[in-house]
Amino acid sequence: MEEDDHGRGLLVVYTYADKVGHDASAGGRTMWAELTWNEQ
């Protein structure tokens, strides 16, 4: 994984997420993540 610009927040996301990705546009970039949540 490339070095993040700031902190380790994305490392935490990558650790727990089932899927991650990003969408780029002229206005910037949107990062997204999908997590599975099991109610107990």
Chain-wide mean pLDDT for the chain?
84
pLDDT digits (tens, 9 = 90+) for 1-17: 555 556 678 888 889 99
Burial environment of residue 17 by CB neighbours within 10 A (0 to 12, 13 to 18, 19 or more): middle
Average pLDDT over residues 7-34: 89
**Length reported for the chain:** 40
**Residue 33 pLDDT greater than 60, yes or no:** yes
Please indicate, yes or no, whether the overall pTM of this predicted structure exceeds 0.75: no
Quote the pLDDT of residue 4. Answer: 53
